[in-house]
Amino acid sequence: MCSRQTGVLVFFLAAITTTSSSDQSRIDASIVGEATRSVVPIVCLVRNRENGHVVRYRYVGTAFLVDTAGTFVTAAHVVSNFDGGQRTDCHAAIAFPSSDRNMLRNGQWSTLPAGEWELPPKTVKWFPFDPTNCYEDYGTDVAVCKTRQALTAEAVPHKTTTVSTVRPVTGTRVFFVGFGQQAMNATTIAATIAGFSETDRKRAIVIDKSAWPGASGSPIFASDGKQIVGMLTETGIGDTSGRSFGVTGETILAVLAKVK
């Protein structure tokens, strides 16, 4: 998650333990459950050089699905984690749990262990993507990527979502869903629109809750869970602590239009 303090952006790569807000209990569980099906973690996979099998993985960020062909949206700085340096051995992918209902016990991601560089569970399906083929708009911190195979190629639980062009007014209740770098399940946080910025497209939408590392790219849903009204790109620290920032649905759709 990208954070801002007195104008300086700090990108967190260290993992932290995430805690769901107490406001989560106010969100209808069926609405959250349906919305969460369109949200996936972005992971770094390390494969055995001899047989290509996944030997370990770690969370990098969050994304949401916009079509069954495998197109998804995330923050551009999440994709940049795969550029050079220590990430050169990473194979980028999004992940889904097994569609076996016996595997899906207490939530979509109950089969994923917590922690960094975990041994991969056999119940997870990986959908690789090539970060170099992503469209990255750093002016807005929005990236559009596509998996190498369609989501229909495997029996995985998924749902695509739509993005709204309508800006919710200040005070509107929303919620966001994201994965943390040590979170076993997706975390859902209820929030309120705290305002908008007309001068900074990267942080045009402001909500009244903090986020965490790994939540960059988390979709901000309208309270009914039917449409996305924004996407988280950074969390506040210092004088903006307790708030998070993101791009509006209008901006997301504008970037998507450039890809098509």
What's the CA gap between 166 and 9, in Å, rounded? 28
Confidence of residue 182 (pLDDT cuts 50, 70, 90): low
Q: Which domain holds residue 83?
A: 39-153
Residue 12 and residue 80 in one domain: no
Residues paired with residue 33 on neighbouring β-strands, in sequence order: none
Question: Is residue 258 domain-resident?
Answer: no
Confidence of residue 27 (pLDDT cuts 50, 70, 90): confident
Question: Is residue 257 domain-resident?
Answer: no
Find the CATH number of the domain harbouring 242.
2.40.10.10
Check whether 102 has a pLDDT greater than 50. no
Residue 71 and residue 107 in one domain: yes
Of 123, 153, 183, the one marking the end of a domain is: 153
Find the CATH number of the domain harbouring 118.
2.40.10
Mean pLDDT computed over 66-90: 83
Residue 47 and residue 75 in one domain: yes
- Tokens found for residue 56: 């370990």
Residue 50 and residue 132 in one domain: yes
User: What's residue 51's pLDDT?
Assistant: 72
188 phi/psi in degrees, rounded to 5? -110, 130
User: What's residue 181's pLDDT?
Assistant: 54
Most confident of 93-102, 179-188, 216-225: 216-225
CB atoms within 10 A of CB 51: 7
Check whether 4 has a pLDDT greater than 90. no
Per the model's pLDDT, the better-predicted residue between 129 and 111 turns out to be 129
CA distances for 32 relative to 22, 35, 47, 230, angstroms: 15, 5, 33, 16
User: Cα-atom radius of gyration of the chain, to the nearest Å?
Assistant: 17
Model-wide pTM > 0.85: no
Mean pLDDT computed over 75-87: 77
Confidence of residue 3 (pLDDT cuts 50, 70, 90): very low
Check whether 253 has a pLDDT greater than 80. yes
How many domains does the chain fold into? Answer: 2
Of 137, 153, 169, the one marking the end of a domain is: 153
